[in-house]
Structure 1
Amino acid sequence: MTALPDWMVLPPGGLSAAEYEALPEEACRRIEIVDGAIVVTPAPRRLHQTIARRLANELEHAAGPEFAVDTDIDLRLRDVPLLNRRPDVVLYDATLPDDVVLRPQHVALVVEVMSPGSVTADQTDKPAEYAAAGIEHFWRIESEPQDDRKLTVFRYRLDPTTRAYVSAGVDTADIAVSTPVTLKVELESLL
């Protein structure tokens, strides 16, 4: 039996923000922290990465100087107990210095590309966490189980009264939105 690396052995109260930040960068690339516990995420398939990268490119082109766009970066939703997610695509305030931890108040849009191993997290857990943190827009991209080259984008906006997401539309051919950026993208071009 293989022993866990030392960094995966959690203290009784779970991993703190300081302990997470002290981890080697290569360890952080495939983990998320939920209530102080380490959640290892499998490496996504190439198609998943292609969709995220191409959408990020489209968002970056549409965003202008106001927003920055990144893929697979840390988003600190809460410090205690530590809740740190790594969304597939994030649109956030471009004035944020590189050394500042990305937090919900900096973010305008989070996008998750759903994979077979992330259905519950992407459909239930993450949207609830992002909404509770006050992130105004959330999109989830799903592919058909029988045809992973047929995409559907579920778009949500935050209801400020309930602090829960409500549907802002479902797209099966193209995305055409005016908020948080003006964007028109044929879904086929993301494949």
Structure 2
Amino acid sequence: MEVADGRVVTAAVASTQRRRTARIIANALDTAGGTDWNADVAVEVRLTDAPLTLRRPDVVVYRADAVALTPMRAQHVLCVVELVSRASQATGRIVGVHRYVRAGIRHYWRIEWSATGVPVACTYVLDPVSQAYREEAICNGIVHVTEPFPVTIDLTRI
């Protein structure tokens, strides 16, 4: 369940493949983030107070010293990862992205499955001048990036 502009929005339970993918990504980012950053699945993030907007991205990278905050505030979040299914394409590609930009979340990753079943990761970084996400990388199967920190994630083993 999420809250978008003050309205409750419900979603279907994530598939086993989606949950496993999120866990693998979170584990890799948690390790790569060292002691300063944590990465977890399904963390509730409060993007705005009025109108109230709460999102629950598949993976959230946040400051380690904010671990006890519930809900997490956007200013403590470094990166969100959304796993996009056919049912969530509009949210993953447009609506959620716009909300993350407005909240000032620096990194956004979108993971989708290609027609062959191989996960494709698109990573973005927030451009502070244009207030829009700029594409950083498109990775097929294996995510290899240097931001928000150096990490390699093999999504082909899912």
Distance (whole Å) between structure 2 residues aligned to residue 133 and residue 48 of structure 1: 25
- Map 1:82-93 → 2, pairs under 5 A: 82-93=52-63
Distance (whole Å) between structure 2 residues aligned to residue 73 and residue 45 of structure 1: 17
Please state if 1:38 is matched with 2:26.
no
Structure 1 gaps of 5+ residues are: 1-30
Distance (whole Å) between structure 2 residues aligned to residue 71 and residue 64 of structure 1: 17
Q: Deviations over 1:26-71 (max 9, x none)?
A: xxxxx11011001111111111111001111111111110101110
SS at match of 1:95: helix
Deviation at 1:187, TM superposition (A): 2.3
- Map 1:1-191 → 2, pairs under 5 A: 31-144=1-114, 146-147=115-116, 149-189=117-157, 191=158
Identity %: 33
Q: Deviations over 1:132-159 (max 9, x none)?
A: 1111100000002x33x31100111101
The runs of at least 4 aligned residues of structure 1 exceeding 3 Å deviation read none
CA contact (8 A) 2:21 2:155 kept: no
CA contact (8 A) 1:44 1:115 kept: no
User: What one-letter code is carried by the residue in structure 2 that aligns with 1:72?
Assistant: A
SS at match of 1:130: helix
Deviation at 1:100, TM superposition (A): 4.7
Structure 2 length normalisation: TM-score? 0.95
Distance (whole Å) between structure 2 residues aligned to residue 62 and residue 118 of structure 1: 28
Larger radius of gyration between Structure 1 and Structure 2: 1
Distance (whole Å) between structure 2 residues aligned to residue 97 and residue 175 of structure 1: 26
SS at match of 1:184: strand
Report the aligned-residue RMSD. 1.2
User: What one-letter code is carried by the residue in structure 1 that aligns with 2:132?
Assistant: A
User: What one-letter code is carried by the residue in structure 1 that aligns with 2:61?
Assistant: L
CA contact (8 A) 1:131 1:163 kept: yes
Structure 1 length normalisation: TM-score? 0.79
The structure where strand makes up a greater share of residues is: 2
Residues 161 and 154 (structure 1 numbering): CA distance in 2 closer, same or farther, change over 3 Å? same
Distance (whole Å) between structure 2 residues aligned to residue 97 and residue 46 of structure 1: 26
Distance (whole Å) between structure 2 residues aligned to residue 187 and residue 35 of structure 1: 33
1:15 aligns with none
Distance (whole Å) between structure 2 residues aligned to residue 118 and residue 129 of structure 1: 15
CA contact (8 A) 1:156 1:167 kept: yes
